[in-house]
Amino acid sequence: MWQLYQFPLCPFSRKLRLLMGEKNISYELVRENPWEERDEFWALNPAGRTPVLHDPEKNLTLCDSRAICEYLEETVERSPMINGTAAGRAEIRRLTALMDENFYGDVTAPLLHERMKKRLVLKQSPDSRVLRDAMRLVHGHLDYLDWLIDNRAWLAGPTMSLADLAAAAQISVVDYLGGIDWRDHQQTKRWYAVFKSRPSFRPLLGEKMVGIHPPEHYAKVDA
């Protein structure tokens, strides 16, 4: 059975869990806090990052969430998530990268640093200027998602794809950390509500990161 090295608020691990949920691939969770820089973990992944997907029986170790998603897409036929024409697939991968890199860099990473790492690891208080910047930048990203959803059934086109999973993963972490003001983003809010009710999403919404409390609405499917 696959072992997934992750921690509950890692957005890249969440994207992978959503994909494995949709594809009905079973796995067990192994808790890994990458900031502890465990030697055994660095031996598995020289990048020192979560997620890592490991199959001890097959002696197979996969690193980097996008590389892992491509692998699962190539090896498990059910619920294809990088699908369609070559141009359509490029659009799915472009938006996945936009969420993994730009949204993560502008919003998720600073929030994780200020509201998770500072509380749990560094024992410092958050920098309100950094938080304010991240919460300003999130609006531009959500405006763009609103616009996509106004023009397409799903983010990258007519069917649900890895781009939707990548976006839902980042947004769910930011929402857990109280970083999203949903009032001005009705389209994304509706799209996200549909997501929250999917069986692949439910297990994630039930998990807590000890010491950090999500807002009331976080796990509610209709909020």
Ligand X SMILES: N[C@@H](CCC(=O)N[C@@H](CS)C(=O)NCC(=O)O)C(=O)O
Please report, as ranges, the residues that interact with a second copy according to CB under 8 A: 46-47, 60, 62-64, 66-68, 70-71, 74-75, 86-87, 89-90, 93-94, 96-98, 101-102, 144
Q: How far is the CB of 66 from a second copy (least distance, A)?
A: 7
Is the CB of 64 or the CB of 133 nearer to a second copy?
64
Q: How far is the CB of 95 from a second copy (least distance, A)?
A: 9
- Cα→Cα distances 142→7, 13, 30, 99, 154, Å: 25, 21, 32, 11, 14
Rounded to whole angstroms, the Cα distance separating 63 from 46 reads 9
Q: Does 50 bind ligand X (CB under 6 A)?
A: yes
The contacts of residue 103 (CB under 8 Å, 6+ apart) are 141, 167, 170
Phi and psi (nearest 5°) for 209?
Answer: -95, 115
For residue 200, the partner it binds in ligand X, a second copy, none, with Cβ less than 5 to 8 A by kind, is none
Among 29, 76, 97, 209, binds ligand X (CB under 6 A): 97
Q: How far is the CB of 218 from a second copy (least distance, A)?
A: 28
Q: Cβ distance 39 to 66 under 8 Å?
A: no
* Piece of 61-69, 71-79, 160-168, 214-222 that binds ligand X (CB under 6 A): 61-69
Q: How far is the CB of 166 from a second copy (least distance, A)?
A: 12
Number of H helices, E strands in the chain: 9, 4
- Cα→Cα distances 152→141, 145, 146, 191, Å: 17, 10, 10, 11
- Cα→Cα distances 196→19, 37, 122, 192, 193, Å: 14, 32, 32, 6, 5
For residue 70, the partner it binds in ligand X, a second copy, none, with Cβ less than 5 to 8 A by kind, is a second copy
Residues 112-171 that bind ligand X (CB under 6 A): none
Q: Cβ distance 78 to 20 under 8 Å?
A: no
For residue 221, the partner it binds in ligand X, a second copy, none, with Cβ less than 5 to 8 A by kind, is none
Is the CB of 149 or the CB of 165 nearer to ligand X?
165
